Amino acid sequence: MRAKIPQLKEALYGHFGAHHAFVARQIIDHIDYLDSAIGALTEEIRERLIPFESAVALVSSIPGISATTAQVIIAETGGDMSRFPTAGHLCAWAGLAPASYESAGKRKPAGS
């Protein structure tokens, strides 16, 4: 192990050349672009959900449902729950209601 100490010290310093700096700058620029795009999309989503603020507040009042999850639920369902006669219908539409199918005497669970 003692013989490797100089090699280990050299490895700690490493080599960061111009090409590494170029690639690092490209990566940082891309991250900055993605942050900007996320900010613009977040603002667009906020503006489009203004008419649904009360629905988002109601859905997010459910324990375990964050504001973001409530926004997704409203966006997916369109906010008009009248098309779902019962909560079970909504769960089935979302793929959350368990179902069981039987064929040739064998039961096959479906749904989640």
Distance CA 56, CA 79 (A): 9
pTM, 2 dp = 0.60
Assess whether pLDDT exceeds 80 at residue 92: yes
Distance CA 107, CA 109 (A): 6
Percent of the chain with pLDDT over 90: 54
Cα 6 to Cα 4: distance, rounded to the nearest angstrom:
6
Q: Which pLDDT score, from 0 to 100, does residue 95 have?
A: 86
59: nearest Cα among 49, 50, 67, 51 = 67
More confident residue, 101 or 77: 77
Q: Are 58 and 64 in contact (CB under 8 A)?
A: no
Residues 6+ apart with CB under 8 A from 95: 111, 112
- Write down the pLDDT at residue 79: 80
